[in-house]
Amino acid sequence: MKLNKTKMGRTFMIAALSAVMLATGWQSPAKVEAAANAVPSYEVKFLLSNDIVLKQDFTLKNEVKDAFQINEPAARMLVEYFDTTDLSLNDSGWNVRFRKKEDKKKYELTYKKRYPVVNGDINAALTQANLDGFSAADTNYEAEVDWGYSKQTLSFSNDKEESTSKGLNLPNESEALNLLVSKIPGKLDKTNAPGWGTARLLQAYAHGPILASRYSGTFEGLETDIEVWPIIGANGSGTEYVVEISFKTDDYQTAASKRTNLMNLLNNKGWLVPADSLKTNLVLERY
């Protein structure tokens, strides 16, 4: 019986390929495992009543300083955010911040991507971020859960620096913007479309600056900060003082237990404002 030539050729090719595979040890490509979700740290934040915790000169009252072992004068810093007139960066989950601390010889440039945490499901937010490339494998970003009075927000921060001199100085708006554009991270630039981030930043302007004060103390063994931000009033005049207390920890259980303890202390003192801090949004909307 004659074999079909096509079948004979196919049989020969399969046999030859098998021989090559055996000789070279060639194997099919291994299945690529998905990167693990990022592991976040936690920052607990509460608002304090400015009418109660601040003196007439808008510095912290001694009773508040004593409660958190604050012994040094407040450190000052200038902070501004860059976004377009219609806040297109913020609407896409990004905040771009330019900051200068009085005692540091560097400008701090921060690009932060935010994800809402729904019903306390941090893992779901981490998984969604992972789909966008924010995973444990990306060491350019620090993952953090901001835990306020009633809500949580997952954020990924990419921090850059630029050398300068000590003091309360900021470059002019165009110079600051050029620095931010030159150091833009790829994930921001590719948001929505390639080059989107750069195009939006080039259309952005400075919201601020704010001359903020930061007091450093402790609460139950954790470093704790109290910041005072003077922000222009909602009607475009006057000043609204936003006072925020916060601490950071890498452990969820520590964050949860210390958060409860801090909330109880603030409640008992009558210092707590039962609302989430929106100081970044206030700056973006009012400047």
CATH number for the domain harbouring residue 70: 2.40.320.10
Note the pTM of the prediction, 2 decimals: 0.86
In this structure, is residue 244 part of a structural domain? yes
Each residue of 97-152: pLDDT tens digit?
999 999 999 999 999 999 999 999 999 999 999 999 999 999 999 999 999 999 99
Q: Which residue has the tokens 């900021």?
A: 170
In this structure, is residue 18 part of a structural domain? no
In this structure, is residue 8 part of a structural domain? no
Which residues have CB under 8 Å from 28's CB, separation 6+?
A: none
In this structure, is residue 143 part of a structural domain? no
In this structure, is residue 181 part of a structural domain? yes
The domain tally of the chain equals: 1
Identify the segments of the chain with pLDDT beneath 70: 1-33
Identify any residues that bridge with 54 across adjacent strands, giving them in sequence order. 60
Would you state the structure tokens that stand for residue 61, as one six-digit string? 């009252």
In this structure, is residue 260 part of a structural domain? yes
In this structure, is residue 237 part of a structural domain? yes
What are residue 65's phi and psi, to 5 degrees? -60, -45
Amino acid 33: pLDDT: 64
**Contact criterion met (CB below 8 Å) for 228 and 74:** yes
First to last CA, the chain: 90
Q: How far apart are CA 176 and CA 197, in angstroms?
A: 16
In this structure, is residue 240 part of a structural domain? yes
- Give the C-alpha distances (Å, rounded to integers) separating 254 from 31, 121, 262: 38, 17, 12
For 85, the domain range is 44-107+164-285
Q: How far apart are CA 198 and CA 184, in angstroms?
A: 7
DSSP 192: S
